[in-house]
Amino acid sequence: MEEKNKNKKTFDLECVQEGFANGVAPGFPLSDKQKQKMIDRATKAYGKFLTELGCDWENDPNSNDTPRRVAKAYVNDLWEGRYTAMSEITSFPSDGYDGIVIERNIPITSMCSHHHQTIRGLVHIGYVVDEDGRVIGLSKLNRIVELFARRGAIQEQLTSAIHNAVNTICENNKGVIATVVATHNCVSCRGVKHNGASMVTTKASGVFMENENLARKEFFDSIKINNGNHPV
């Protein structure tokens, strides 16, 4: 963490283990040259993977570049957060505001660590500011979601990571809550093959842990998750 001036702080959120399913790659962040070498290696490996599955990809005009396409998709998009550093996260003094801040319907696309299938849904984040605390620039909440979503994880880990990041940045807060509502392609395309099922995970701290707290009620009323009217 580095303090730029008395009104603005920046935070480094790359504080996770290297190499694990929801972590960052060794040597993070990778240079463009390092990423290209990784794509080249992964291209060869994925070609062998397809061959072992009995796929004659090399003689199929629609598939002969598939190994490179897949490798590039992982490095540049699906797992971008494992290899590329995000921009600085900033916070600012609350200037006496001591109410609740809620951002709803942050879109999320991630990948399940178990089957490497897509997770899609919405993230809702709330926090209660202390009058001497700090607030996050609004778009930075979206960036936090993207940072952790583009690493691959299970939804429970992802929810905790988002909550903990907001809790770190919003110093002296009275409580933080993060809810993820998402569908999992590993449920719809394999196994039970059920479409329409969604998973809800919530990580809360401070006043949001109190069932009768008005901030907790306001948050869930805002995202309309308790009455079955959620858009996912």
Structural domains in the chain, CATH included, are: 6-13+90-223 (3.30.1130.10), 32-83 (1.10.286.10)
The residue written with tokens 């996050």 in the block is 136
Residue 117, pLDDT > 90, answer: yes
* Dist. CA 34–CA 197, nearest whole Å: 39
Specify the DSSP class assigned to residue 18. B
Measure CA 149 to chain center.
Answer: 2
The β-bridge partners of 123 are 106, 180
**Which is higher by pLDDT, 68 or 210?**
68
The residue written with tokens 């709803």 in the block is 104
Query: For residue 113, which of 13, 179, 44, 186 has the smallest C-alpha distance?
Result: 186
User: What average pLDDT score do residues 178-199 get?
Assistant: 92
Q: In this predicted model, what pLDDT tens digit does every residue of 118-134 receive, in sequence order?
A: 999 999 999 999 988 89
Tell me the percentage of the chain whose pLDDT exceeds 90. 63
152 backbone φψ class: left, alpha, beta (φ>0; ψ -120 to 50) = left
The β-bridge partners of 72 are none
Query: For residue 173, which of 131, 204, 129, 215 has the smallest C-alpha distance?
Result: 129
* pLDDT attached to residue 2: 44
Tell me the percentage of the chain whose pLDDT exceeds 70. 87
Tokens of 45: 């490996």
In this structure, is the dihedral angle defined by the CA atoms of residues 207, 212, 218 and 221, taken in order, positive or negative?
Answer: positive
pTM comes to 0.87
Question: Phi/psi of residue 46, each to 5°?
Answer: -70, -35
pLDDT bracket for residue 150 (50, 70, 90): very high
User: What average pLDDT score do residues 202-215 get?
Assistant: 93
In this structure, is the dihedral angle defined by the CA atoms of residues 60, 61, 64 and 70, taken in order, positive or negative?
Answer: negative
* pLDDT attached to residue 1: 43
User: What average pLDDT score do residues 138-162 get?
Assistant: 92
The β-bridge partners of 108 are 121
Task: Count the neighbouring beta carbons within 10 Å of the beta carbon of residue 46.
Answer: 18
Q: Cis link prior to 29 (omega < 30° from 0)?
A: yes
